[in-house]
Amino acid sequence: MVEAETKIVIPFHDIDVMRIAWHGHYVKYLEIARCELLDKIAYNFPEMEASGYAWPVIDLHIRYASPLNFGQQVIVKSKIVEWENRLKIAYQIVDKESGKRLTKATTTQVAVDIQNKEMLFESPRVLFDKLGIRP
């Protein structure tokens, strides 16, 4: 299935009073990785909108195993793991030098028809086409 690796250096403005990345910024790192992953199949947010579908995130899970520190170089590994009825992406944030897993997460998105605002109970054909899969 489709996978991507996104390199991120933890910036100073993401650090909290404990001198580690504030937990809320992890969502931003996942978003950066998700966009890079979706670019690989030419179905990022502008292409989604052009196809007539919005794909809101309806579920997010993050497991913080080790903190991220200022200046630390990490790799966010992302992979599409479900696509039939929803778009589920799994993530791992690993230290670039050691390869140690620091965080794992998932996001789940569903297709919503932009015109009538109705959620689809199965993914639209365009997603299967972008993934090169015949439903």
Which of 70, 71, 62 is closest to 93 using CA atoms? 62
Whole-number pLDDT of residue 119: 97
Domains of the chain: 3-125 (3.10.129.10)
Contacts of 86 (CB under 8 A, 6+ apart): 58, 108, 109, 110, 123
| pLDDT tens-digit map of 16-57 | 999 999 999 999 999 999 999 999 999 999 999 999 999 999
CB of 96 closer than 8 Å to CB of 50: no
Whole-number pLDDT of residue 124: 97
| pLDDT tens-digit map of 61-116 | 999 999 999 999 999 999 999 999 999 999 999 999 999 999 999 999 999 999 99
Whole-number pLDDT of residue 135: 66
Q: How far is CA 89 from the centre of its chain?
A: 6
| pLDDT tens-digit map of 1-10 | 899 999 999 9
